Amino acid sequence: MRIVVVGGVAAGMSAASRAKRFDPGAEVVVFERGEYISYGACGLPYVLGGAVDDWDDLVARTPEQMRGRGIGVRLRHEVTGLDAQARTVTVSGPSGVCTEPYDRLLIATGVSAIRPDWARTDAAGVHVLREIPDGQAIARSLEGARRVCIVGTGYIGLELAENLCRQGLSVVMLERGDEVGGNIVDVEYRRRIRAELEAHGVDVRCGVTVEGLTVREGRVSGVQTDTGLVRADTVIVAVGVRPNVELLKAAGARLGKTGAAAVNVRQETSVPGIYAAGDNCETVHRVTRRKVHIPLGLTANRMGRVAGVNMAGGDATFPGVVGTGIFKVFGLGVARTGLGQADAERLGLDAVSVDVESTDHASYYAGAAPIHVRLTGERGSGRLLGGQLICSNPQSVKRVDVLAAHLHGRGKVEDLFQMDLAYAPPFSGVWDVLLVAADRLQRALR
């Protein structure tokens, strides 16, 4: 059995490791076009901000470690072609172009950062952030820089704003929508995020359309918008990502309506012998039962494990996601899972949301911080649809995991209220804020 993996980061290396463990006799080869494998891309903003010391600290496994486990790793090797009938891939590497056979093939090519037409330039100082080399290029660009413009206010943009401010840089954020944060949380909570950014000196401008860049002596000098020029010596484009599905399209594999690879619960594509896993795949949202494309690290690793077992002859399935996310902006922790009110309304669900403000632990115990919780439920069924949390003690929003676990079981709001949650004054009130919110939502749904 020869198993070929295209892409050596989260999904690819998880798959390779799992396949080799499940079938030690299989030949497992990973082709990675870059210079790193198995690293935590989510940590990139924190290296730029100094919270993480070095790029190498993000690396979980080196090529040498993986080779020691019997997995062939070939860096700077890009798979440029695929013949599904012959079961071969075309690989371009330092020694030239060659053809490699496979019995089972995994496409784990992830996503690419979107570069709008205005950002396609040879001018220095214009960047995206997806991989370690991107981060290294930004770090070099920031040497001597004074003012950074971040275009886009999703997860990456928000994390970059904090970390670049901590390096003493002046930061301006541009957002085409009417508020920061896209659809991460409902608009009331996005306003709180914006207030936190502005309280720490970030210049936030919403409702702005970027029209182009200005360049001086080969380096970007500003961003031209429909409301005027924003001066900056470094520009980071963080307007979203698109799945890398070119190889899958060439093989005739079916794509979903999201534009990502359509796979079954075993991570199999529509082409026999070809699997896909990670950020280039769509999956099922367990709350809505609809196909979604939500590229996140844990999802990619889990998809990779499932694909690895199945390619090696086992039987594993990926159950889907509930859309859980969490991040920090300065002193504010933000988390969400499932559907918000706006999400539910777009889907035509009869949804109700309640907001509760409390403290993250007993108010009489030192250090109690305000925490805001929004729960969303469905009329008629009484089902919990989702939750959102914001707290000035960032660690406290990890409560979102309780909600995520409940959503995986398609649980009701009443069941959430009945949960036996832990209580001690340093950790929560006797009635945790989630229980208070569930009680209030129960009454609103009647």
Cα gap 98→78, rounded to integer Å = 11
Cα gap 157→128, rounded to integer Å = 10
Cα gap 355→127, rounded to integer Å = 39
Looking at 42, 149, 206, 391, which residue is catalytic?
A: 42
Is 165 a known active-site residue? no
Residue ranges per structural domain of the chain? 2-112+242-311, 115-239, 325-445
Would the pTM count as exceeding 0.85?
yes
Of the candidate CATH numbers 2.40.50.140, 3.30.200.20, 3.50.50.60, 3.40.30.10, the domain formed by 115-239 belongs to: 3.50.50.60
Q: Which two tokens stand for residue 331?
A: 């002193």
Q: Which two tokens stand for residue 116?
A: 């709008």
Question: Regarding the domain delimited by 325-445, which CATH topology (the fold level of the hierarchy) does it fall under?
Answer: FAD/NAD(P)-binding domain (3.50.50)
User: What count of Cα atoms within 13 Å lies in the side-chain half-sphere of residue 128?
Assistant: 16
Question: Regarding the domain delimited by 2-112+242-311, which CATH topology (the fold level of the hierarchy) does it fall under?
Answer: FAD/NAD(P)-binding domain (3.50.50)
Give the pLDDT of the chain (446 residues) as one tens digit per residue.
999 999 999 999 999 999 999 999 999 999 999 999 999 999 999 999 999 999 999 999 999 999 999 999 999 999 999 999 999 999 999 999 999 999 999 999 999 999 999 999 999 999 999 999 999 999 999 999 999 999 999 999 999 999 999 999 999 999 999 999 988 999 999 999 999 999 999 999 999 999 999 999 999 999 999 999 999 999 999 999 999 999 999 999 999 999 999 999 999 999 999 999 999 999 999 999 999 999 999 999 999 999 999 999 999 999 999 999 999 999 999 999 999 999 999 999 999 999 999 999 999 999 999 999 999 999 999 999 999 999 999 999 999 999 999 999 999 999 999 999 999 999 999 999 999 999 999 999 98
Give the CA dihedral 204, 387, 264, 276, nearest 10 degrees: 30
